Amino acid sequence: MAGLRPDARQAYLAALFLADAYERQGRVVDAIAAYGVAQQNWPGAQSPSLGIARLRALSGDHQAARAALASVHLDRPPDAPERSDPWMGYIGAQAWRLPSGIAALQAIFEAEP
């Protein structure tokens, strides 16, 4: 395995999988770092920024959550690949998490004065 050299898409997806594993272990700092690696491998993707924002908000750092959300590209940057987030094309993606994740973020921000 040491000789394997993943391309940017593979490295991006691997970082997302690692972030998920860290989250499940309660290792929030490591999960955020893994999302950062995903961002480095696929800068136009939204998933890492949303993951970081969710974890920051759940940890009570709402200012950092807002900052992470500010980096989310709602429109595909001109230099982004045709599919701006490989996660969207990955079969078995975690779309089942979206409704509860969005609801949790919304509730946190609505609760603030």
pLDDT at 100: 79
For residue 61, being part of any structural domain is answered with yes
Quote the CA–CA distance of 23 and 36 in Å, as a whole number.
14
The answer as to whether 76 is a domain residue is no
Q: Decide if 77 is inside a domain.
A: no
Q: Could you tell me if residue 1 is inside a domain?
A: no
**Amino acid letter, 29:** V
Domain limits for position 67: 8-71+82-111
- CATH number of the domain within which 50 lies: 1.25.40
Which pair of tokens denotes residue 74?
Answer: 């709602």
21 assigned to some structural domain: yes
User: Which pLDDT value is given to residue 1?
Assistant: 47
pLDDT in tens, 6-24: 788 889 999 999 999 999 9
For residue 63, tell me if it sits in a domain. Answer: yes
How many folded domains does the chain comprise?
1
Task: Tell whether 17 is covered by a domain.
Answer: yes
Distance CA(109)–CA(93), nearest Å, equals: 26
In this prediction, residues 46-60 reach a mean pLDDT of 92
* CA torsion through residues 103, 30, 41, 1, sign: negative
- Residue 80 is classified by DSSP as S
Proportion of the chain above pLDDT 90, given as a percent: 41
What pLDDT, on the 0 to 100 scale, is given for residue 79?
59
Residue 67 predicted with pLDDT over 50? yes
Q: Is residue 24 part of a domain?
A: yes
